[in-house]
Structure 1
Amino acid sequence: MGYRGPLPKNAVDRVNTCVGALRTSARWGPLVRRHLTQITYTGRRSGRTFSTPVGYQRAGDVVTIGVRMPDAKSWWRNFTGDGAPLTLDLGGTGHTGHAVARRDAKGRVTVTVHLGGEA
Protein backbone atom coordinates (compact mmCIF):
# COMPACT_ATOMS: atom_id res chain seq x y z
CA MET A 1 0.00 0.00 0.00
CA GLY A 2 1.46 3.35 -1.04
CA TYR A 3 1.28 6.75 0.59
CA ARG A 4 -1.84 8.70 -0.35
CA GLY A 5 -2.41 12.40 0.05
CA PRO A 6 -0.32 15.52 -0.38
CA LEU A 7 3.01 15.90 1.33
CA PRO A 8 3.30 18.86 3.72
CA LYS A 9 4.53 21.87 1.73
CA ASN A 10 7.14 22.89 4.31
CA ALA A 11 8.68 19.39 4.25
CA VAL A 12 8.78 19.38 0.45
CA ASP A 13 10.34 22.85 0.39
CA ARG A 14 13.06 21.78 2.85
CA VAL A 15 13.94 18.68 0.83
CA ASN A 16 13.99 20.63 -2.44
CA THR A 17 16.24 23.28 -0.89
CA CYS A 18 18.70 20.63 0.33
CA VAL A 19 18.74 18.88 -3.04
CA GLY A 20 19.29 22.20 -4.80
CA ALA A 21 22.23 22.95 -2.52
CA LEU A 22 23.76 19.54 -3.23
CA ARG A 23 23.36 20.01 -7.00
CA THR A 24 25.28 23.30 -6.90
CA SER A 25 27.92 22.22 -4.38
CA ALA A 26 31.49 22.18 -5.67
CA ARG A 27 32.21 18.93 -3.86
CA TRP A 28 29.01 16.91 -4.41
CA GLY A 29 27.45 18.67 -7.39
CA PRO A 30 29.10 16.67 -10.20
CA LEU A 31 28.00 13.38 -8.64
CA VAL A 32 24.48 14.54 -7.77
CA ARG A 33 23.86 16.14 -11.20
CA ARG A 34 24.43 12.78 -12.91
CA HIS A 35 21.20 11.51 -11.35
CA LEU A 36 19.22 14.63 -10.41
CA THR A 37 18.10 17.53 -12.55
CA GLN A 38 15.85 20.49 -12.02
CA ILE A 39 12.81 20.92 -14.22
CA THR A 40 11.04 24.22 -14.81
CA TYR A 41 7.53 24.33 -16.21
CA THR A 42 4.35 26.40 -16.29
CA GLY A 43 1.36 25.14 -14.31
CA ARG A 44 -1.63 24.30 -16.50
CA ARG A 45 -4.23 25.90 -14.27
CA SER A 46 -2.28 28.59 -12.44
CA GLY A 47 -0.06 29.78 -15.29
CA ARG A 48 2.73 30.16 -12.70
CA THR A 49 6.29 28.98 -13.27
CA PHE A 50 7.54 26.18 -11.02
CA SER A 51 10.91 24.46 -10.56
CA THR A 52 11.49 21.15 -8.82
CA PRO A 53 14.37 18.67 -8.58
CA VAL A 54 13.75 15.20 -10.03
CA GLY A 55 15.69 12.00 -10.59
CA TYR A 56 16.24 11.15 -14.24
CA GLN A 57 17.85 8.88 -16.80
CA ARG A 58 18.93 10.06 -20.21
CA ALA A 59 19.34 8.12 -23.45
CA GLY A 60 20.23 10.47 -26.30
CA ASP A 61 17.45 13.02 -26.70
CA VAL A 62 15.03 11.19 -24.39
CA VAL A 63 14.96 11.83 -20.65
CA THR A 64 12.91 9.54 -18.42
CA ILE A 65 11.69 10.68 -15.00
CA GLY A 66 10.24 8.06 -12.67
CA VAL A 67 7.81 9.74 -10.27
CA ARG A 68 8.11 8.26 -6.79
CA MET A 69 4.91 8.35 -4.68
CA PRO A 70 2.91 9.91 -7.54
CA ASP A 71 -0.33 10.15 -5.55
CA ALA A 72 1.43 12.44 -3.08
CA LYS A 73 2.69 14.79 -5.81
CA SER A 74 0.94 16.98 -8.32
CA TRP A 75 3.65 18.42 -10.59
CA TRP A 76 3.56 15.51 -13.06
CA ARG A 77 -0.14 16.05 -13.74
CA ASN A 78 0.81 19.10 -15.80
CA PHE A 79 2.15 16.65 -18.41
CA THR A 80 -0.82 14.26 -18.80
CA GLY A 81 -2.70 13.91 -22.07
CA ASP A 82 -0.76 15.59 -24.88
CA GLY A 83 1.92 16.75 -22.43
CA ALA A 84 3.52 20.17 -22.17
CA PRO A 85 6.87 21.95 -22.61
CA LEU A 86 9.47 22.17 -19.88
CA THR A 87 13.11 23.03 -19.36
CA LEU A 88 15.67 20.70 -17.75
CA ASP A 89 19.05 21.67 -16.35
CA LEU A 90 21.45 19.12 -17.81
CA GLY A 91 25.16 19.69 -17.29
CA GLY A 92 24.56 23.28 -16.18
CA THR A 93 22.70 24.12 -19.39
CA GLY A 94 18.97 24.57 -19.88
CA HIS A 95 17.46 22.16 -22.42
CA THR A 96 13.90 22.53 -23.65
CA GLY A 97 11.72 19.56 -24.28
CA HIS A 98 8.20 18.21 -24.51
CA ALA A 99 7.11 16.02 -21.59
CA VAL A 100 4.30 13.46 -21.44
CA ALA A 101 3.26 11.68 -18.23
CA ARG A 102 1.82 8.17 -18.30
CA ARG A 103 0.47 6.00 -15.47
CA ASP A 104 0.75 2.23 -15.93
CA ALA A 105 -1.65 -0.47 -14.74
CA LYS A 106 0.22 -0.75 -11.42
CA GLY A 107 -0.12 2.99 -10.72
CA ARG A 108 3.50 3.88 -11.50
CA VAL A 109 4.03 7.21 -13.25
CA THR A 110 6.75 7.94 -15.79
CA VAL A 111 7.35 11.29 -17.46
CA THR A 112 9.09 11.00 -20.81
CA VAL A 113 10.78 14.11 -22.15
CA HIS A 114 11.81 14.47 -25.79
CA LEU A 115 14.49 17.15 -25.88
CA GLY A 116 14.31 19.85 -28.50
CA GLY A 117 10.57 20.44 -28.53
CA GLU A 118 7.57 18.43 -29.66
CA ALA A 119 7.70 14.63 -29.56
Structure 2
Amino acid sequence: MKSGPRVERTVGRVNGLMTRLRSRPGPIGRLLRRGLTVVTYTGRRSGRTFSTPVGFRRKGDEVTISVMLPDAKNWWRNFLGEGGPLSLELDDVQRTGHAVAQRDGKGRVTVRVLLDR
Protein backbone atom coordinates (compact mmCIF):
# COMPACT_ATOMS: atom_id res chain seq x y z
CA MET A 1 0.00 0.00 0.00
CA LYS A 2 1.31 3.43 -0.92
CA SER A 3 1.63 6.04 1.77
CA GLY A 4 1.78 9.78 1.53
CA PRO A 5 0.05 12.94 2.75
CA ARG A 6 -3.26 12.07 1.09
CA VAL A 7 -3.37 8.55 2.54
CA GLU A 8 -2.30 9.84 5.97
CA ARG A 9 -5.10 12.46 5.95
CA THR A 10 -7.67 9.83 5.00
CA VAL A 11 -6.45 7.42 7.68
CA GLY A 12 -6.50 10.25 10.23
CA ARG A 13 -10.10 11.10 9.35
CA VAL A 14 -11.26 7.48 9.51
CA ASN A 15 -9.46 6.94 12.84
CA GLY A 16 -11.03 10.12 14.24
CA LEU A 17 -14.50 9.06 13.10
CA MET A 18 -14.16 5.57 14.58
CA THR A 19 -12.88 6.99 17.87
CA ARG A 20 -15.83 9.41 18.09
CA LEU A 21 -18.37 6.70 17.20
CA ARG A 22 -16.82 4.32 19.73
CA SER A 23 -17.16 6.98 22.46
CA ARG A 24 -20.87 7.57 21.84
CA PRO A 25 -23.43 6.34 24.33
CA GLY A 26 -26.06 3.97 23.04
CA PRO A 27 -26.06 0.89 20.85
CA ILE A 28 -23.53 2.04 18.22
CA GLY A 29 -20.90 2.92 20.81
CA ARG A 30 -21.50 -0.28 22.78
CA LEU A 31 -21.23 -2.39 19.63
CA LEU A 32 -17.96 -0.76 18.56
CA ARG A 33 -16.44 -1.00 22.06
CA ARG A 34 -16.79 -4.81 21.93
CA GLY A 35 -14.03 -5.12 19.34
CA LEU A 36 -12.46 -1.67 19.03
CA THR A 37 -10.28 0.12 21.54
CA VAL A 38 -7.86 3.02 21.51
CA VAL A 39 -4.25 2.25 22.37
CA THR A 40 -2.10 5.02 23.82
CA TYR A 41 1.66 4.73 23.87
CA THR A 42 4.86 6.76 23.84
CA GLY A 43 6.97 6.68 20.69
CA ARG A 44 10.39 5.14 21.29
CA ARG A 45 12.32 7.71 19.27
CA SER A 46 10.13 10.80 19.47
CA GLY A 47 9.04 10.49 23.09
CA ARG A 48 5.63 11.81 21.99
CA THR A 49 2.34 10.27 23.12
CA PHE A 50 0.14 8.77 20.41
CA SER A 51 -3.34 7.23 20.39
CA THR A 52 -4.83 5.09 17.66
CA PRO A 53 -7.98 2.95 17.39
CA VAL A 54 -7.39 -0.77 16.87
CA GLY A 55 -9.44 -3.93 16.66
CA PHE A 56 -8.76 -6.45 19.39
CA ARG A 57 -9.63 -9.80 20.94
CA ARG A 58 -9.42 -10.41 24.66
CA LYS A 59 -9.01 -13.57 26.66
CA GLY A 60 -8.61 -12.92 30.38
CA ASP A 61 -5.59 -10.69 30.95
CA GLU A 62 -4.28 -11.04 27.38
CA VAL A 63 -5.33 -8.78 24.51
CA THR A 64 -4.43 -9.66 20.92
CA ILE A 65 -4.28 -7.03 18.20
CA SER A 66 -3.95 -8.21 14.59
CA VAL A 67 -2.39 -5.33 12.65
CA MET A 68 -4.05 -4.91 9.27
CA LEU A 69 -1.74 -3.73 6.46
CA PRO A 70 1.27 -3.62 8.82
CA ASP A 71 3.68 -2.29 6.19
CA ALA A 72 1.54 0.84 5.87
CA LYS A 73 1.60 1.47 9.64
CA ASN A 74 4.32 2.29 12.08
CA TRP A 75 2.76 2.29 15.55
CA TRP A 76 3.31 -1.43 16.19
CA ARG A 77 7.05 -1.12 15.58
CA ASN A 78 7.35 0.54 19.01
CA PHE A 79 6.68 -2.91 20.49
CA LEU A 80 9.24 -5.02 18.62
CA GLY A 81 11.89 -6.91 20.59
CA GLU A 82 11.30 -6.56 24.32
CA GLY A 83 8.09 -4.60 23.70
CA GLY A 84 6.90 -1.72 25.82
CA PRO A 85 4.11 -0.24 27.90
CA LEU A 86 0.80 0.98 26.56
CA SER A 87 -2.69 1.70 27.80
CA LEU A 88 -6.07 0.86 26.33
CA GLU A 89 -9.70 1.21 27.34
CA LEU A 90 -11.53 -2.00 28.14
CA ASP A 91 -14.99 -2.19 29.71
CA ASP A 92 -14.99 1.61 30.09
CA VAL A 93 -11.81 1.46 32.22
CA GLN A 94 -8.34 2.61 31.19
CA ARG A 95 -5.97 -0.38 31.55
CA THR A 96 -2.21 -0.57 31.26
CA GLY A 97 -0.10 -3.44 30.05
CA HIS A 98 3.04 -4.61 28.31
CA ALA A 99 2.85 -5.12 24.54
CA VAL A 100 5.10 -7.19 22.28
CA ALA A 101 4.81 -7.18 18.48
CA GLN A 102 5.76 -10.16 16.32
CA ARG A 103 5.78 -10.68 12.56
CA ASP A 104 5.24 -14.20 11.27
CA GLY A 105 6.70 -15.84 8.17
CA LYS A 106 3.82 -14.60 6.03
CA GLY A 107 4.33 -10.97 7.07
CA ARG A 108 1.36 -10.82 9.43
CA VAL A 109 1.86 -8.77 12.58
CA THR A 110 0.30 -9.52 15.95
CA VAL A 111 0.66 -7.37 19.04
CA ARG A 112 0.06 -9.25 22.29
CA VAL A 113 -0.68 -7.22 25.39
CA LEU A 114 -0.42 -8.69 28.87
CA LEU A 115 -2.58 -6.49 31.09
CA ASP A 116 -1.30 -5.25 34.43
CA ARG A 117 -3.31 -6.40 37.44
Unmatched tracts of structure 2, length 5 or more:
none
Q: Distance in 2 between matches of 1:81 and 1:8?
A: 28
The alignment-based identity, stated in percent, is 57
Q: 2: CA distance between counterparts of 1:113 and 1:55? A: 13
Partner of 1:50: 50
- Structure number with higher helix proportion: 2
Q: Root-mean-square deviation (CA), in Å? A: 1.4
Give, in whole Å, the separation in 1 of the partners of 2:33 and 2:92: 9
Within 1, Cα distance between the matches of 2:83 and 2:32? Answer: 27
CA deviation vs aligned residue, 1:25-46 (integer Å, no higher than 9, x gap): 1231111000000000000000
Instruction: Name 2:68's counterpart in structure 1.
Output: 68
- SS of aligned partner of 2:97: strand
Deviations 1:76-111 (A, max 9, x none): 000000000000111111100000000000000000
- Rounded Cα–Cα distance in structure 1 between residues aligned with 2:3 and 2:35: 26
TM-score using structure 1 length: 0.92
Q: Which residue of 2 aligns with 1:115?
A: 115
| Aligned residue number for residue 11 of structure 1 | 10
TM-score, reference length from structure 2: 0.93
Q: Which residue of 1 aligns with 2:23?
A: 24
Runs of at least 5 residues in structure 1 that lack an aligned partner in the other structure: none
